[in-house]
Structure 1
Amino acid sequence: RIAVVASNYDYPIIRLDTNQGVYGIGEVRDAGHKENALQFKSMLLGQNPCNVDMIFRAIKRFGGPAREGGGVSGLELALWDLVGKVYGVPCYQFLGGKYRDRVRLYADTPQPAEPTPEAYAARVLGRKALGMTFIKFDVGMHVLHGRVPDGLGGSATQYEFDQGYGARFAARGAPGTQLTDAGIARFVEIAAAVREAVGWDVSLCIDHFGPLTVKDAIRLGKALEPVGLAWMEDIMPWWDIDGQAAVTRAINVPTNTGEQLYLWDGFRELIEKRAVDIIHPDLLTSGGMLETKKIADYAERYGLATALHFAGSPIAFMANVHCAAAIPSFVALEHHALDLPFWKGLVTGLDEPLIEEGYVRVPEKPGLGVDLNLEGIRENLRWPGELFLPTEEWNTPKLGFWQPDRRWDK
């Protein structure tokens, strides 16, 4: 059953029921669709939920990159939560145990309304005031538009059809434009202002640059080297492995990508080519906890560390905490909900305070260590009244070849 929570990025929360009275909880990736999980219901009916790997192998063939991996990954979380409850074991134990009792978080920081260096510095200082020691902030071409007239050279090609999401799969860069020295100087001015404001004891990283060509990305990366960034994130699109590798080899700022990649298979080329310095899976796309652990362990063999991307509910947050605890080469886990007043109230079982000095404790309770707060979820439903309603319409197969009775072949 599903309940979709309205948030900055909606959370399709999964409840996986059994005939034994125990259930597991998970969620489809933030801003994903509940149907990505519901389509697999017919494949789960009648199965032993403790056979997690068998079920995962059956359904993973029908997932895909970005939000299309959210159903497979979310169900994997729910299965492990259920198994943990059955055996009275925290989920990290199924991943081989833990390397740490506390997991470091990195704070996502919203863009200021007016993207000036002073406004960015104030926003990031706000995160430091919350005790965060690792902070990400987003910069992009919007900081130049209408503010740095000579920040871009040339003009973009006009009269193109609106391709919606598909437009992101075009060749990288805005055709007809190039990032100028003045534009690069503005990016550096913002980053330097943030660094001066928070000091050198805070780890800083930057995201949302595009659209950039490989050449412009290299120029920008070299200019940002004196700021001492922990990483530059998603400089190139996730499918352009060779472009990402070219940037990584040319600059002295660590690079980071991976939030849209699906399964170990999706990360293999990125890792083997060492196209980034830090891989960045989102376990609600990469295949869930165990698959992400396998990805991180493979990356470690090539000298690559792992940070975890995340922007969902407390359910998947705790799944990330369990996974992070089990990854030896772990750096930090993203926290995208510091400004959401209702977020903690979606579940029960969270520590109070949840975050101490930028870290969160690894739970020792069975499964993920949290449970549903039905009242908190009900108050924040995307569609009022749709709180884990029956889903019998999904009992019949929706994948592959199905003939219920072959009535015309008799």
Structure 2
Amino acid sequence: MTVTTRVKLSTMMFLQFFIWGAWFVTMGTYLGKTLGASGVQNATAYSTQSWGAIIAPFIIGLIADRFFSAQKVLGVLHLTGAALLYYITTVPNFEGFFPIILAYMICYMPTLALVNSVSFKQMANPSKEFPPIRILGTAGWIVAGLTIGWLGWERSNSLVLTFKMAGTASLILGLLSFTLPSTPPAKKGQKTSMGDILGLDAIGLLKNRSYLTFFVASVAICIPLAFYYNFTNPFLNEVGMKAAAGVQALGQVSEFAFMALMPLFFVRLGVKKMLAFGMFAWVLRYIFFAYGDTGANYWMLIAGIVLHGICYDFFFVTGQIYTDNLAGEKFKSAAQGFITLATYGVGMLIGSYISGPIVDHWKISDTSHNWMSIWLVPAGIAGVVLVLFLVFFKDTNQIQEQKGLDIEEPSTGRLEV
């Protein structure tokens, strides 16, 4: 890969996640303070991520994979997204806001796969070349949060500017996309079935009892995950945390740190313990939020945010590796698409529709909620999922330390490194 290509791909990845982090974290606060949205409306707005994740495979499978180059589809989607983000700043109420953010997420979610496709096409050894480029995406999300905190947009009730900032970055990335290396459609001229698009060819994995347990746990754990994405920023602002969006960026810093330590933990703990620790971290995080405050228990709020690294990496990344192992060569892509559709699509969608009414139920006034009662609900859900997982998941094979991350014996479910 040439230096020019590496710089373009790194910039692409930075902007891709800068755009998302620029508005997504603080949208709940914007909806509540600026548009007067209820908890149900807030959660409904966040459910657009799940609808985007459900619809995204159709855009990729039916359009990008068969008819047009990935970088061109990426460019069109981000330019369309830029227009939608600018337009949404002119909408005065939630009724006008929702259809626009839904249209935007239908445009944005497919780009997550497209940036990976463009990157992998230019790499001779993706396992070594992709991580240094992908990490720029995490950096983009962190910079977006720090920028919002530094500019004080939450305190000054100026969060409408987050959509303008994201729109500007989307415009830049849309134009940049047309200069990226050519990534022609991978399945041009081939017939694509509905099973291919949705990853349903991997449904046979559910015959494995341990994998079925993991699959159900993955969907269920995304219900409390929705509470975190939808209401953490409004919660932190309501309890008086300064520059909350910037502080929340510590979650991505933690994610980066634990990602680097993943191979060490794999060797020491194995799959079942990794998954269990990830779910336990969800329980602990929400307990910290329930009892934390900006006084003596401020450390609990920080700890709850920093636990994001364990919550995400230990469960979702471990789960992706576990899925890859069981699927074998033939169904690797289908299996990853299937689990992503089930978690970020179905699981998060259920979580969004459950979290809103719960938050509204514990509303005390227009500016306050009983957050202790609210956060104990996802803590309880995560706790039940953890207990059921420990009882029914029997795959206790350990990962043994060798060189690399070569996963073998897909039929037995053993993981060896």
Give me the TM-score of the superposition, normalised by structure 2: 0.24
Determine which structure has more spread, i.e. the larger CA radius of gyration: 1
Q: Per residue, is there more strand in 1 or in 2?
A: 1
